């Protein structure tokens, strides 16, 4: 296990003051903070070897290309992908899912084919499929959740059938914290001849993820949630599926030969990387991967379980608070979404900000989930490797003070 105080010193932003208080950053599911090594790598790229990749003959171009491809390789190893060619850089998780919807979905799905999603999915794993279903005539099915925020596996098995072509599920919910059994769900999908896409945005940064073990066909995740820079993410795809896929965006880099009449496509993965890529942020992602490996993903996971256990107890112990998702910390990722009596999440957010505490309030890009839960909005605290127990204590204290603030100024309403 690592020393959290020691780790915090690597993150310059954690020294910030907000409204006279030290920043208490509990919005990691929205984005993570970056260690100095990542920030310096970004500057160093622009200071020393910025050049366009893949085409150049000069030294800088060679150095940039090597750094860019080295980052791809490190990312592939990070998730135990079988080859760097299985990793296509994208802008983020959303773009990776859209890539599959366009390059695979639109060309493969026929009217009546089925794609299985769930009611807890992030909009990025719903909207591209709605758009694609509209164009192809494919049908979307949504697995429901139970009272503890677990997917209804019995319903899933009922849904699976000869028409199922794809199952696309988030590994960890960014609201409920539910950790879905995607390995088993992938197997079930394969038993019915369907492919499995895992939305790993909320899992790759926080726990060991091994695509060989999961045996998923596609996986999507983002750099900015895993201590890396914004603007870069990745799609993993088994070579056997990516090989026959036509391109996503067209342009330079993704071609082999271009004539006025026709064009042949480049090999994987560059076929899916049109135009000049986000070289700088791809390069700066590498030290983030190294940093996570140094801390150890199992250690980060363990740390988050302890934080979550503490949070469930302290926040759950406040009168009027309802926490959503599975009751046990071991069954959850490090996000805690809750409501607090009559104080609306927005008002909670504004109050907590007065204490320098950053949480998120709203529907967290999961409107269907909130509708399913019968609520308009939740407040959400989410943790990461550098979060401390005392930050959670501070959160709990501030919530109590917030509750008192509003209670003092309003008459009690009949419940």
- Catalytic center residues: 365
* Cβ contact 132:105 at 8 Å: yes
Contacts of residue 392, Cβ cutoff 8 Å, sequence gap at least 6: 307, 310, 311, 314, 315, 381, 383
Please tell me whether residue 16 binds other proteins under the rule CB under 8 A: no
Query: In the structure encoding, which two tokens stand for residue 379, read together?
Result: 């407040």
Which part of the chain contacts other proteins (CB under 8 A), choosing from 13-21, 73-81, 191-199, 283-291? 13-21
Query: In the structure encoding, which two tokens stand for residue 364, read together?
Result: 């967290």
| Contacts (CB under 8 A) with other proteins, residues 18-57 | 19-21
* Nearer of residues 282 and 396 to other proteins, judged by Cβ: 396
Q: Residues in contact with other proteins, total (CB under 8 A)? A: 27
Query: In the structure encoding, which two tokens stand for residue 304, read together?
Result: 């988050």
- Stretch 357-396: interaction string toward other proteins, x if CB under 8 A: ----xxx---x--x-----xx-------------------
* Nearer of residues 37 and 365 to other proteins, judged by Cβ: 365
CB of 367 to other proteins, least distance (A): 8
- Stretch 340-359: interaction string toward other proteins, x if CB under 8 A: ----xxxx--xx--xx----
CB of 111 to other proteins, least distance (A): 22
* Nearer of residues 142 and 405 to other proteins, judged by Cβ: 405
- Stretch 276-315: interaction string toward other proteins, x if CB under 8 A: ----------------------------------------
* Nearer of residues 58 and 411 to other proteins, judged by Cβ: 411
Q: Please write down the HEC assignment for all residues of 346-371.
A: HHHHHHHHCCCEECEEECCCCHHHHH
Which part of the chain contacts other proteins (CB under 8 A), choosing from 100-108, 258-266, 319-327, 399-407? 399-407
Q: Tokens 């005392």 correspond to what residue?
A: 390
Determine the Cα–Cα distance for residues 207 and 199; give it in Å rounded to an integer: 14
Determine the Cα–Cα distance for residues 34 and 10; give it in Å rounded to an integer: 8
* Cβ contact 413:342 at 8 Å: yes
Q: Which of 2, 142, 265, 405 binds other proteins (CB under 8 A)?
A: 405
Q: Tokens 């979404």 correspond to what residue?
A: 337
CB of 129 to other proteins, least distance (A): 17
* Nearer of residues 229 and 345 to other proteins, judged by Cβ: 345
* Nearer of residues 263 and 354 to other proteins, judged by Cβ: 354
List residues near other proteins by CB under 8 A: 19-21, 344-347, 350-351, 354-355, 361-363, 367, 370, 376-377, 398, 401-402, 405-406, 409-411, 413
């Amino acid at each position: 296990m690592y020393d959290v105080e020691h780790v915090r010193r690597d993150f310059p932003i954690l020294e910030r003051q907000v409204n006279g208080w030290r920043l208490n950053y509990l919005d990691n599911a929205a984005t993570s903070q970056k260690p100095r090594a990542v920030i310096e790598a970004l500057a160093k790229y622009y200071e020393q070897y910025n050049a366009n990749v893949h085409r150049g003959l000069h030294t800088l171009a060679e150095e940039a290309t090597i750094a860019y491809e080295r980052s791809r390789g490190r990312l592939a190893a990070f998730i135990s992908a079988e080859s760097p060619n299985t990793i296509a850089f994208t802008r983020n998780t959303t773009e990776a899912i859209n890539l599959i919807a366009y390059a695979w979905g639109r060309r493969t799905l026929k009217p009546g084919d089925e794609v299985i999603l769930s009611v807890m999915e992030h909009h990025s794993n719903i909207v591209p499929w709605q758009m694609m279903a509209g164009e192809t005539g494919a049908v979307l099915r949504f697995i429901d959740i139970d009272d503890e925020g677990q997917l209804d596996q019995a319903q899933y098995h009922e849904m699976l059938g000869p028409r199922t072509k794809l199952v696309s599920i988030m590994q960890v919910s960014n609201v409920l914290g539910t950790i879905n059994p995607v390995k088993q769900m992938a197997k079930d999908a394969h038993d019915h001849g369907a492919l499995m896409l895992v939305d790993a945005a909320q899992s790759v940064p926080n726990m060991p993820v091994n695509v060989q073990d999961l045996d998923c066909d596609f996986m999507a995740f983002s750099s900015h949630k895993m201590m890396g820079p914004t603007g870069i993410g990745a799609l993993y795809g088994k070579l056997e599926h990516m090989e026959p896929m036509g391109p996503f965006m067209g342009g330079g880099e993704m071609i082999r030969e271009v004539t006025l009449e026709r064009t042949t496509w480049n090999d994987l993965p560059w076929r899916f990387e049109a135009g000049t890529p986000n070289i700088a942020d791809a390069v700066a992602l590498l030290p983030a991967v190294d940093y996570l490996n140094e801390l150890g993903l199992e250690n980060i996971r363990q740390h988050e379980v302890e934080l979550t256990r503490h949070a469930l107890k302290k926040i759950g112990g406040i009168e009027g608070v309802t926490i959503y998702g599975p009751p046990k910390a071991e069954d959850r990722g490090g996000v805690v979404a809750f409501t607090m009596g009559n104080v609306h999440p927005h008002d909670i957010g504004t109050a907590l900000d007065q204490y320098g505490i950053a949480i998120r309030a709203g529907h967290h890009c999961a409107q269907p989930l909130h509708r399913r839960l019968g609520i308009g909005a939740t407040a959400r605290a989410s943790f990461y490797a550098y979060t401390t127990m005392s930050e959670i204590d501070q959160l709990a204290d501030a919530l109590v003070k917030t509750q008192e603030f509003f209670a003092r100024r309003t008459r009690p309403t009949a419940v």
